[in-house]
Amino acid sequence: MPQNPTARRTLLVRSAGLIAATAAPVWLLPARAQGTALRPTPSQSEGPFYPVRIPTDADADLLRTGTARYAKGQAAWITGTVTDTRGTPLAGGVVEIWQCDQDGHYHHPGDGDRADPAFQGFGQVTLGRDGRYRFRTLKPAPYSGRTPHIHVKVRLDGETLLTTQFYVQGDPGNVRDFLWRRLDAAGQAALTRPFVNGPDGLSADYPVVVQA
């Protein structure tokens, strides 16, 4: 049976309105839906002091080793989200960080094992469905020849997806650091973040994008 033209137009208008009301704004859609790709976080050298073996205490709190607490320097939270280039969280991935203590020493034979035993120096977390990580650690300190930094690895299913370093925004040592200076402007912006005071104390947020 032919449909009344007026009724048909009314149905089309109502349908268009429903679609418009339920459609998400473009800025809420993931990168995959928008057909764009996020720029991967720049990789950097591992450096000489990745642990020879993963320590027994390798949780997300680097300021406590067993019952010992590390009290030097500035305690800080290091947080962020790990996604792939489509914006999808890297659920099940592992983030590792390692760094020197406030006196510039690593837990590593190559550094003479001079690091304070109260400072864990290495930590790892497994990412949940939201891809977020959070470490309690030390605002990175300088040592001879390097600006303050934190070493980072991201793994998934045993494969290393990224090795890089995080830097402190505004630190005067950055412009003299040979690795920081090798980064282009976008790379420096991706790896260099401010430490700010908030409800939980000092913190810095480093979003990470990997090829997965």
| pLDDT for the residue numbered 35 | 60
CATH of the domain at 87: 2.60.130.10
The token duo for 139 is 């605002």
Residue 78's nearest CA partner among 23, 133, 29, 38 is 133
Give per-residue pLDDT as tens, 44-66: 999 889 999 899 999 999 999 99
The token duo for 5 is 């033209």
Cα distance between residue 77 and residue 59, in whole Å: 14
Cα distance between residue 206 and residue 183, in whole Å: 16
115 domain residue, yes or no: yes
Judged against a pLDDT cut of 70, whether residue 23 lies above it is answered with no
Angle at alpha carbon of residue 121, lines to 142 and 54, rounded to 5°: 140
Judged against a pLDDT cut of 90, whether residue 189 lies above it is answered with yes
Query: Could you tell me whether strands 75-84 and 201-205 are parallel, antiparallel, or unpaired per DSSP bridges?
Result: parallel
Give per-residue pLDDT as tens, 125-180: 999 999 999 999 999 999 989 999 999 999 999 999 999 999 999 999 999 999 99
200 domain residue, yes or no: yes
Q: Where does the pLDDT of residue 36 fall: very low under 50, low under 70, confident under 90, or very high at 90 and above?
A: confident
3 domain residue, yes or no: no
The count of domains in the chain is 1
183 domain residue, yes or no: yes
28 domain residue, yes or no: no
111 domain residue, yes or no: yes
| Domain interval for residue 142 | 37-210
| pLDDT for the residue numbered 204 | 98
Query: What is the reported pTM?
Result: 0.83
